[in-house]
Amino acid sequence: MRILVLGGDGYLGWPVALHLSARSHEVVVVDNFLRRNYDLELGLGSLVPIATLQRRVARWKEVSGREIAMHVVDITDGYATKRLIEEVRPEAVIHFAEQRSAPYSMIDRAHAVHTQANNVVGTLNLLFAIAEVDPSIHLVKLGTMGEYGTPNIDIEEGYLEVTHRGRSDVVLYPKAPGSFYHLSKVHDSHNIHFACRAWGLMATDLNQGVVYGQATEETAMHPDLATRFDYDHVFGTVLNRFAVQAALGIPMTVYGKGGQTRGMLDIRDTLACVELALANPPSAGQLRVFNQFTETFGVLELAERVSKVVGGAEIAHISPPRAEAEEHYYNPAHTKLLDLGLRPHLLDDDTILSLVELGRRYGAGVDQSVMLPTIQWRRPGPPATGDAGH
């Protein structure tokens, strides 16, 4: 299959591109290096050194004998996006090309506007390009479990059957997300839903949970193929961050009580889920939604798991920077990918230990000043002096 991976230089885009290339798909990666620019803007960096995209692609050819083509395109440029789709003529587009950090979107007005404009406009351009060039291209779009928020009812996969005053309908699952980033994904979902209804496009929305892990079968083949690993308070996801804190012997920072419960998955399962979505496309006019995670964990529970694995590590409950419930009901469905054959890598001690070991191996390069949260959800003003973010 000819597959375009947008955001193919990122934490997940790059391993997905390698995984699909290794399985004989014809892979084209596209990026505009916005993610690496955010690092420059905020003074952050990957724990694990990462090669340039050019070097990654060259090394992959050397190691595997397979070619991955690369294009530098900003998909907020509608003309460039259409030309890209015309030239590559993919059978599927995997769309990772969005600003993906909730804290980043909450820095201030400019970052909220950037996040929503970048994500919504890029996705709109892509929808138009697919509809104009070839409506049978399967759009595989990365959404997030965070779109749902934490409702008091069970979370279903994308849709909800509602009976109301004696009548019934199936509606898009109502969303109440907790950041301007998560909201941008809700906007995307509504736009994609409409494009499927009006133009007959076919799309899969992967509402992904929090991903942990770093090594995949392919990225482990050579240091130049490694994917990034973020431990900072802006882009570092919870388990990855805890593992680095434990490795350095500094307290794992739990926001408030730590009763926030989230769906999570191993990076290797992200690859498998994307592959399953590609192999089982939806029908024309259908927006199919999968909840892409394998287990739910409480944040404090995760810190305790890490502590146990390393034989004791300190846990610090810090003032919660986010506007979110510290304890809540959470019961999201996640059967559709299992029904397609997903065999999850559930979180085990070995995986936790491998992350801690990553932290130990690269610990000398860690900048501890970027690990404590400084972006405040409840205060919309520009950052006070001393805040990170500028």
The CA distances from residue 186 to 13, 84, 87, 196, 277, in Å, are 21, 25, 30, 15, 20
Check residue 176 for interaction with its own copies (CB under 8 A).
yes
Give me the least distance between CB of 116 and its own copies, in Å please: 6
Report CA 320 to chain centroid distance, whole Å.
22
Q: Residue 306, SS3?
A: helix
Single out the catalytic residue among 81, 115, 144, 216: 144
d(Cα 216, Cα 16) in Å, to the nearest integer? 9
Q: Which of 162, 220, 284, 318 binds its own copies (CB under 8 A)?
A: 162
Total H helices, total E strands in the chain = 12, 14
State yes or no: is 159 an active-site residue.
no
Asked if 343 is part of the footprint of its own copies (rule: CB under 8 A), the reply reads no
Give residues 185-244 in contact with its own copies (rule: CB under 8 A): 186-187, 190-191, 193-195, 197-199
Among 32, 46, 116, 227, binds its own copies (CB under 8 A): 116
Nearer to its own copies, 197 or 361 (CB): 197
- Per-residue tokens: 55: 């070097």
Nearer to its own copies, 205 or 218 (CB): 205
**Largest alpha-carbon pair distance within the chain?**
64
Nearer to its own copies, 162 or 316 (CB): 162
Per CB under 8 A, 132 contacts its own copies: yes
Of the pair 161, 350, the CB lying nearest its own copies is at 161
Report the C-alpha gap between 318 and 299 in whole angstroms. 12
State yes or no: residue 313 binds its own copies (CB under 8 A): no
Determine which residue in the list 24, 65, 110, 311 makes contact with its own copies, applying CB under 8 A: 110
Query: Which of 33, 1, 32, 29 minimizes the C-alpha distance to 15?
Result: 29
For every residue of 33-47, DSSP letters joined together read -HHHHHHHHHT---S
Distances (CA, A) of 80 to 76, 274, 380: 9, 25, 35
Q: Please identify which of the residues 148, 173, 181, 212 carries the catalytic annotation.
A: 181
User: Where on the chain is the footprint of its own copies (CB under 8 A)?
Assistant: 78, 82, 108-110, 112-113, 116-117, 120-121, 124-125, 127-128, 131-132, 151-154, 160, 162-165, 167-169, 171-180, 183, 186-187, 190-191, 193-195, 197-199, 323, 329, 377-378, 380-382
Active site residues: 144, 181, 185
